[in-house]
Chain A
């Protein structure tokens, strides 16, 4: 892989991770926070596969990436379930309005 193309990949991965992190920090909507998490996971996925190709060890990194994707979908489904449950009980998914914790 040429250095220019590698730089383009690295810049894109960093921009994707930065966008996801910024979105996660700024948004108060819980569903949008999950979208931000997905963006960061895509950056990680791309980075892992790129490193595997560059180090001539694609099998291990690709197997690891598949594992990451599977765990990511499980976490997302549970998180969406939590958000829907929260919406069912409180009527909102805005984190600013979720201030009542009842033991």
Chain B
């Protein structure tokens, strides 16, 4: 562990921050703080994606996950008064009872996976398409499927909150 910390300090610090942010999102009794921790986790993932030479995916992750999804969560919490003093107190009381096992589980899993030999992958010959080329030239029917999903999501939300007209006698 000290070797990887001295050779790749930025990666190790960001990886550690990601795990800490995820734990904060889980253990926080306040829903709003859990959502903020989730946004911080997205920022850490963005940094790692840039380190892995995937800037386009990093920009998507930052704008969509850290931005749009956080805004959706926060607006839903504020519009519906989902977080009250009662729910916060209840979550604080139940936190230890529910999540005491989580640090032990993560420690066990981390040590077990850390002692395994790293996975090996077969490298394909160089010359593969760049991500923009794949997005714009190699996609066919799956693009249609993605458009259908987007439209289904948009219309679904519209239908959920459609006001029903009252019929007068």
Contacts and interface: CB of A to CB of B under 8 A. Distances in A.
B96 interface: no
A44 to B, nearest CB: 11
A97 interface: no
Contacts of A60: 128-129, 134, 138
B153 A74 contact: yes
A59 B134 contact: yes
Interface residues of B, number: 78
Contact of B45 (A26, A27, A45, A59): A45
B22 A16 contact: yes
Interface string A59-100: 110110111011111111110111111011000010000000
B164 interface: no
Interface in A28-50: 29, 31-32, 34-36, 38-39, 42, 45-46, 49-50
Contacts, number: 209
Interface residues on A, range: 35 or more
A83 B41 CA distance: 23
A38 B69 contact: yes
A39 B152 CA distance: 24
A56 to B, nearest CB: 4
18 contacts: A3-B118, A5-B8, A11-B114, A12-B19, A16-B19, A18-B109, A22-B102, A27-B98, A35-B25, A42-B45, A45-B61, A54-B121, A59-B128, A63-B138, A66-B135, A77-B157, A80-B72, A81-B157
Given A12-B18, A84-B79, 15 more contacts: A5-B7, A5-B8, A20-B22, A36-B26, A39-B22, A39-B38, A56-B128, A66-B56, A67-B142, A71-B149, A73-B64, A73-B65, A74-B152, A81-B160, A82-B160
